[in-house]
Structure 1
Amino acid sequence: MTVPPGDHHGTRDRPRTDSRYGIPSDREGLLPWSTVADRMRTERTVWVTTTRPDGRPHARPVWGVWLENTFHCGGGDRTRWVRNLASNPAITVHTEDGESVVIIEGVAEKLTDETADEARLERIDDRYEETYGVRHGTPVFAARPTTVLAWTDYPTDATRWRFDAR
């Protein structure tokens, strides 16, 4: 349930918001997908927001890795955000920087030996080791995007990618 190769662009356009924010209406200056991929590949810590069973939001900084045009992160089964995903797989991933931003909104898919091939899980562990010096070792989730927002010079390059629900 990752973004399929060749379909990682989604539909690229402008975010819709109040006109007073000054986001241009034309396509001039839209960011390429490589901005998202390059930024996510270099992030060490991101903020993950999930929804508690009572509907309240829950945000936490987490480690994660970008692999195959998908953000992967994980945590122990007893952590609040992983328990939240068990009842509601909606997830938002946000880079730490508020000026050069990537926001991934979507659905988290828990990768298990039954749902992911062993080679993919091995590549995720390799990337964790490369980034953090440790193997992952806890349940891993792939954030399947429905919407991605990014900008480096807001509002002139504010860009949105929308993906079909799969």
Structure 2
Amino acid sequence: MATQRLAAPTAFAPIMFGAPAPPGDLLSWNWAERRLREAEHYWIATTRPGGRPHCRPVWGVWLDDGFWFSTGSLAARNLESSDQITVHLEGGREVVIVEGTARPESDPDSLQTMCDAYGPKYDHPISPYEDGTVRDSSGTGGPAYLVIPHVVFGWDENMSSPTRWTF
């Protein structure tokens, strides 16, 4: 089943430090989406079955339908018991935090789209396999996931223009 383009989110001022953020300019979704597309490294946070957090850096791509990544690590096992995930860009100056659900994807066309974006971005080609995984030329790889955002937070340098987008 091919995935669909995300609907445009609605922007609000978030709760910051326990209170509504002061009224002001909100960031545009284009601002956040550009950072998500251009980022090289992302941090994902999942939860172990016992409740302990698990956070790791991954490579991935932001496409029209959400955030794509592949992993064979503990995160994959965690996502089997809870599909809840947070994705964060590596920097802390222009922050974008995605909260959503990660679903394993095995549709060949969708995986090919992910691989077509991932390979050139990292100069590390990957390909879909018949078992629904993606792998590089050495055979290393794992399942691919699509993160569907529910809420995204962002703020510019010095925590200016804090914005909460909901889908």
What TM-score, normalized by structure 1, do the two folds share?
0.83
- Are 1:37 and 1:69, in contact at CA under 8 Å, matched by a contact in 2? no
User: Which among 23, 29, 33 is matched to residue 33 of structure 1?
Assistant: 29
| Equivalence for 1:15 | 14
Is residue 139 from structure 1 mapped to residue 143 from structure 2 by the alignment? yes
| Equivalence for 1:122 | 112
In structure 2, the gaps of 5 or more residues are 127-133, 136-141
Is residue 92 from structure 1 mapped to residue 92 from structure 2 by the alignment? no
| Equivalence for 1:160 | 164
Q: CA RMSD in A?
A: 2.2
Q: In 2 relative to 1, CA 56–23 (structure 1 residues): closer, same or farther, beyond 3 Å?
A: same
What's the offset of the Cα at 1:18? 2.9
* Cα distance in 2, alignment partners of residues 23 and 148 from structure 1: 15
- Are 1:39 and 1:102, in contact at CA under 8 Å, matched by a contact in 2? yes
- Are 2:6 and 2:65, in contact at CA under 8 Å, matched by a contact in 1? no
| Equivalence for 2:67 | 71
3-state secondary structure, aligned to 2:160: coil
Q: In 2 relative to 1, CA 126–5 (structure 1 residues): closer, same or farther, beyond 3 Å?
A: closer
- Are 2:6 and 2:64, in contact at CA under 8 Å, matched by a contact in 1? no
| C-alpha distance after superposition, 1:68-108 (max 9, x if no partner) | 141101112xx111100000000000001011111000100
* Cα distance in 2, alignment partners of residues 63 and 149 from structure 1: 20
| C-alpha distance after superposition, 1:54-80 (max 9, x if no partner) | 10110000000011141101112xx11
What's the offset of the Cα at 1:8? 2.6
More strand by share: 2
